[in-house]
Each structure stands twice: as C-alpha cells, then as structure tokens.
Amino acid sequence: MFRAWSFIIFSKDKIYRFLSSGEFCEKNFWLTIKPMLRSIQNNNACISVDDTIIEKPHTKENEVVSYCYDHTKSKCVKGINLLSMTYKTNDASLPINHRIIRKDEILTDSSSDKVKRKSVLTKNQHFRNMLKSSKANKVKYRYVLADSWFSSNENFKCIHKDLDKCFVFAVKSNRLFKLTGEDDSQYRKLSSFDFQPETA
C-alpha cells in the first residue's frame, strides 16, 4: 500500500527574500511557516525534537562552532550543534522551530589552565523554551517525541503538567522510576522492572 504525502511548495522568490533579509530570528521563521502549519495542524499531531551536529573539523572554534559530544561516535567532535523541532501529522512533516546551541561562556580550568566553552542555556532548557513557544503560538498537537537525552524529570513535568500533553521518550535502563501511587521509598532502576504485556 502506498501512502499519499502532502508536499509544501515554496516559490523561489520567497526563499530568496527570506535569505536576503538576513533576519533569521525565531519570530521571522514562525511568521514564514505559520500559514502552512495552520493548514495542516490537528489535535492529534506530534512534535518531535532532536539535535544534530553539523561537523566543521577545519573551522576555527567559536561560540557557534565548538566541541560537542556525538553519541553516535561516542566522542567529542567539532561542529555546529543544532536543536530542531518538527511538526508531524499522518500526511505532512514541517520544521517549526530550531535553536543553535551557542557556547557563549568561556571558562578556564583552574587545574590545567585549559580554556573551555559552555552554553549559558542547556539543551534541555532550550527544549522546554521551544515547547513553551509552541504553546504561545497556539500550535495544536498531542504528543512530544524525543530521545533519551531529553528524558529528564523536569522535561516530563513541563510536558505533562505545564503543557497538558503526552510524551513518548526513549529512557535508559539505569534511570530510577516509581509507579503512580507509590511513595518515594519505592524508586528503583528501570532495568529491574519486569514489564508484562496486558492480556485481554
């Protein structure tokens, strides 16, 4: 069976005007994609958040191009760390927000005098800010999808309690958890829990 996908067509002139404006802020990006989003959005859609590293091994290090841990290679690589948010329905997929992780704070290691860069805001803080921005923009969706990097208690509370949405995240087996209704003494590692499928 073949699925019919919806494609959103941009005119060449519209892209050129956007690029020549030089104003690549979140507000202008939102104004560009807002009409398209409104035409496809529904209450059961998903928002997917993921980060990627655009490697720049030969570029001089600065607040945008810096060393980031790449979990696919299990080592640090030099590049641009981009956090992106994609809106997904059955028939369409549309990028609706993005953040470049800027390491704009310079620190000196007192023991080795080595200079390091650090972001003022963490990726998880950017993650929550992007979701709050979607709420302010009245984006309709039901689920937030992300990998284990973002599976923190603070993120879960933000999605479930503050935004009243559901989430589907990968979770590492060494994370602590307890079931609803259990007290704090019953926290245990996820790997110790025997998940049994429900029977009809």
Q: For the chain, first and last CA: distance in Å? A: 30
The closest of 146, 198, 145, 195 to 173, measured between CA atoms, is: 195
Confidence bin at 16 (pLDDT 50/70/90): low
Q: Say what angle helices 26-40 and 12-21 make with each other, to 10 degrees.
A: 150
Tens-place pLDDT, residues 116-171: 888 999 999 999 999 999 999 999 999 999 998 899 989 999 999 999 999 999 88
The yes-or-no verdict on residue 73 having pLDDT over 80 is: yes
Which 3 state secondary structure label does DSSP give 180?
Answer: coil
| Predicted TM-score (pTM) of this structure | 0.79
Task: Write out 41-63 in H/E/C secondary structure.
Answer: CCCCCEEEEEEEEEECCCCCCCC
Beta bridge partners of 55: 79
Mean pLDDT of the chain: 85
Q: Kindly list the domain boundaries of the chain, sorted by start residue.
A: 12-173
Token pair recorded at residue 177: 């958890």
pLDDT of residue 177: 77
Pair 152, 140: CB distance under 8 Å: no
Confidence bin at 28 (pLDDT 50/70/90): confident
